[in-house]
A = this chain, B = another copy of it.
Amino acid sequence: MKIGIVGATGSFGKGLAYRWAKKHTIYIGSRSPERGEQKARDYCLELQRYGIDARIIGTSNHDAITSGDIIVLSVKFEHLMPLIADSGNQFCNKIVISPIVSLKKEQCFQYVPPSEGSVALLIQAMLPNATIVSALHTIPANRLQRPDMILEGDVPICGDNREAKETVISLIKEIEWLNPIDAGPLEVSKMVEPIVPLILNIKQYSLKRDTSIKFI
């Protein structure tokens, strides 16, 4: 498959590129295409050291969206609106994976959903010709970007299109130890996104480490 990762120069996007580059062509999107190209070269070199012959192409965010069949929005919430304003038309007929959460830090981490109820629902409203699947919120980027590191955790998947959801589920199954779980329609993302600030609070107030979740 052709996977376009928007904001792929961050550690989360890098991690996904590393995990999927064995089997798929990855388009590394960046606001600066030069930086995207540089990072693509860096990633390929690093993966060679792990014995992985990767197909990673660096480009702009705009072209990563155009080139991919599946797009992962590996951007912070505050960069979402400018991205859609610049490249909204490119998302037509794409499967779009949203791991984005809107939060803020006060005394504790707070969940600050948009009026649509979740970021995933906001994106679906902004991009009615794309198919949004919400996934991968709770996977720590620190571990994701190390191909030698085992990731553990369940990944709740929310979406309204069964086929798109199955495509995303099979992609996530390719990441060793991650266990995608169908959590229902896209509306359920309202109950998944708040787990991210919860995990950050648990890290701050007690566990002092990155965690993901498991339904046992």
Contact = CB atoms under 8 A, between A and B. Distances in A.
Contact of A181 (B185, B194, B206): B206
A214 interface: yes
Interface residues of A, number: 34
A201 B184 contact: yes
A185 B108 contact: yes
* Number of copies of this kind of chain in the complex: 2
A198 interface: yes
Contacts of A188: 108, 197-198, 201
A215 B201 CA distance: 12
A199 B111 CA distance: 19
12 contacts: A108-B188, A111-B190, A111-B191, A152-B216, A153-B216, A182-B205, A183-B198, A188-B201, A195-B195, A202-B215, A211-B216, A212-B216
- The 3 lowest CB-CB distance pairs between A and B, nearest first, are A191-B198, A211-B215, A191-B194
